[in-house]
Chain A
């Protein structure tokens, strides 16, 4: 039905109204209660300690939540913007070292310092992004790999922060039963923040700009998007989440060591793999991917236990996912309109 409008304001108003109805229809379909329910359940998990020793369960949950934080962070850069980074373990390590040094010297808990460590990493990410984001595609991926190598050498050589031996951190004085709880809630908070942040980014003009960059950067730029600032900011945001996660992980492990924190497989490749397996650019994807990979890893180590086969199988999963489900689990299901309503968090 054709309708005539007097001026551009009316057209814009009509378009906005139409968009609002679409958004409302989408909101009505969204099962917001489901993620909230999960968070509520996760908050209750430590209560298990009253009835027995579930430290292993809590450790596993905490570990998964840490990966959810990182995968959600990686998603902002790799999923929305399309810049694949295999060097984010650098920020994990920088966050770990920054908060670890402060904890060791001044005794301020890393949980309190995590946001600050995140900001430090964001600033570092901003600076690095200014250099590495000048190139796209393969060159960017290569520069991110080189970043890992540079920081690994620097950390191992810098005696002020312990060199190759790393830092030892004091153990907290809680009883064994409750020792994990502060870290558990810290990681839960971070994971919720990470997923919430990636949701907010996706539904903002900024996120729209990022997704435009991933579709076609030249066109995005000619449409008036300040692509350079956008992608550097996306880089900084993802670095923030990695830094915050690394900070608390250091205190939880009670040590920070270069070869563990800059581990390219565990802290660069895994978050990327989780995001890709779950579905790049979706909100639920990184969460699903993190749960799947951690569960698989735990099962695998428990049954076979060998770290070399482990690398082999991680590589195989990654290769098969990329070849047959490049959109990831959530992305593929959504494409075929088979995505369960509870997993549609977009």
Chain B
């Protein structure tokens, strides 16, 4: 019994990290209709920022996290200005941007791998290998911290979207771009800001990931498939859906891993994706019956 609770807790802690990784992706898709396949490779960039800060200067990943967010947000602004702003006018936009972000994912992967090689890395602050015990259930501190920070950031994002004027503008643009524009929302600026915020979340996720998983540049392929499954599963563009999907699937994957072995646990995400495509193509929280 305590095994099962143990796995539930580990699953929830990982779920928090996946939720944070997916939330930025979902925000960007909602506002700009971009499926950013480069998102996981940018999370990787955030992880390297944390790794080198820790390795060279001994700065804790949790302290460097805001810096990683700023760096990634800046990258987001540059990418948006250089690429997506001009692409927004073209037809077949959302399909083209998938391919385009896929190309950027390869560019970032190649750049990171060229600069830092494909060696496995992990940041190892003291708490990463520490754990606390409640009765006979142990909770790894690293994953606990990562889960808590993710929750705080996601809650912050949700509150910001719900209660600020700019949050209104973002939600309006997500719901109906043309109508929002007619009502005086500067959709281009909203796009820029949400892209930057989405990537800032990627930076935060990267800093957390750096001590939760070991990582190397080409690992982002694994994350792409997992995160995309979450986003499709939750309903494209629904942040709540993504978060719910992240927690649910991580817990299920943890149980699958416990009963059947670790390799099968990743399969959970993809099988879930196919089941959802079969049963409810619009995803759990999606509204549109078709995703054009």
What is the interface of chain A, defined by CB distance below 8 A to chain B?
82, 84, 86, 131-132, 134-139, 141-143, 145-150, 153, 156-157, 264-265, 269, 272, 276, 306, 308-316, 318-319, 322-323, 326
Query: In the assembled complex, how far is the CB of residue B253 from the closest CB belonging to chain A, in whole angstroms?
Result: 13
Q: 3 smallest A-B Cβ distances: which pairs?
A: A312-B110, A315-B106, A311-B110
Query: In the assembled complex, how far is the CB of residue B36 from the closest CB belonging to chain A, in whole angstroms?
Result: 10
Question: B69-103 vs A: 1/0 string, CB under 8 Å?
Answer: 00000000000000100110010101110111011
Query: In the assembled complex, how far is the CB of residue A78 from the closest CB belonging to chain B, in whole angstroms?
Result: 10
In contact, B107 and A276 (Cβ under 8 angstroms): no
Contact of B47 with A by CB under 8 A: no
Once A84-B98, A139-B281 are accepted as A-B contacts, the answer to whether A323 and B228 lie under 8 Å apart by CB is: no
Once A315-B103, A319-B104 are accepted as A-B contacts, the answer to whether A137 and B114 lie under 8 Å apart by CB is: no
Residues of B within 8 A of A306 (CB): 114
Q: How many residues of B contact A (CB 8 A)?
A: 52
Select A149's contact among B87, B102, B118, B270, beta carbons within 8 Å. B270
Q: Quick one: which of B114-165 are within 8 Å of A by CB? A: 114, 117-118
Contact of B267 with A by CB under 8 A: yes
Question: B48-78 vs A: 1/0 string, CB under 8 Å?
Answer: 0000000000000000000000000000000
In contact, A149 and B100 (Cβ under 8 angstroms): no
Select B229's contact among A146, A264, A316, beta carbons within 8 Å. A146
User: CA A266 – CA B2 in complex, angstroms?
Assistant: 46
Q: Quick one: which of B255-292 are within 8 Å of A by CB? A: 263-264, 266-267, 269-271, 273-274, 277-278, 281, 290-292
Closest Cβ neighbor of B114 among chain A residues: A308
Residues of A within 8 A of B86 (CB): 323
Once A145-B228, A311-B113, A316-B103 are accepted as A-B contacts, the answer to whether A138 and B236 lie under 8 Å apart by CB is: yes
User: CA A150 – CA B111 in complex, angstroms?
Assistant: 27
Residues of B within 8 A of A146 (CB): 225, 228-229, 269-270, 273-274
In contact, B274 and A326 (Cβ under 8 angstroms): no
Contact of B254 with A by CB under 8 A: no
List 27 A–B pairs whose Cβ atoms lie within 8 Å, in order of A's numbering. Answer: A84-B95, A86-B102, A132-B274, A134-B277, A136-B291, A136-B292, A137-B98, A137-B291, A137-B292, A138-B29, A142-B273, A146-B225, A146-B229, A146-B274, A149-B225, A150-B267, A157-B264, A309-B110, A311-B109, A311-B110, A312-B110, A315-B103, A315-B107, A315-B108, A319-B100, A323-B87, A326-B96
Residues of B within 8 A of A141 (CB): 35, 95, 98-99
Residues of B within 8 A of A269 (CB): 102, 106
Residues of B within 8 A of A136 (CB): 290-292
In contact, A132 and B106 (Cβ under 8 angstroms): no
User: CA A318 – CA B97 in complex, angstroms?
Assistant: 12
Question: B214-233 vs A: 1/0 string, CB under 8 Å?
Answer: 00010001101100110110
Closest Cβ neighbor of B278 among chain A residues: A131
User: CA A156 – CA B266 in complex, angstroms?
Assistant: 13
Once A315-B103, A322-B99 are accepted as A-B contacts, the answer to whether A138 and B291 lie under 8 Å apart by CB is: yes
Residues of B within 8 A of A135 (CB): 232, 277, 281, 290-291
Select B95's contact among A132, A137, A145, A308, beta carbons within 8 Å. A137
Residues of A within 8 A of B274 (CB): 131-132, 143, 146, 150
Q: Given A269-B102, A315-B106, A322-B100, 18 other A-B contacts at CB below 8 A?
A: A131-B274, A135-B277, A136-B292, A137-B292, A146-B225, A146-B269, A146-B273, A149-B225, A150-B267, A153-B266, A157-B263, A265-B106, A311-B113, A316-B103, A319-B83, A319-B100, A319-B107, A323-B87
Name which of A137, A156, A306 has the most chain B CB atoms within 10 A of its CB. A137
Residues of A within 8 A of B273 (CB): 142-143, 146
Select A326's contact among B29, B90, B263, beta carbons within 8 Å. B90
Contact of B105 with A by CB under 8 A: yes
Query: In the assembled complex, how far is the CB of residue A304 from the closest CB belonging to chain B, in whole angstroms?
Result: 10
In contact, B263 and A156 (Cβ under 8 angstroms): yes
Name which of B99, B221, B269 has the most chain A CB atoms within 10 A of its CB. B99
User: CA A326 – CA B95 in complex, angstroms?
Assistant: 11
Closest Cβ neighbor of A308 among chain B residues: B113
Select A308's contact among B110, B222, B264, beta carbons within 8 Å. B110
User: CA A323 – CA B281 in complex, angstroms?
Assistant: 30
Once A145-B225, A318-B102 are accepted as A-B contacts, the answer to whether A312 and B270 lie under 8 Å apart by CB is: no
Residues of A within 8 A of B270 (CB): 146-147, 149-150
Name which of B87, B110, B269 has the most chain A CB atoms within 10 A of its CB. B110
Q: Quick one: which of B191-233 are within 8 Å of A by CB? A: 217, 221-222, 224-225, 228-229, 231-232
In contact, B228 and A142 (Cβ under 8 angstroms): yes
Question: B241-257 vs A: 1/0 string, CB under 8 Å?
Answer: 00000000000000000
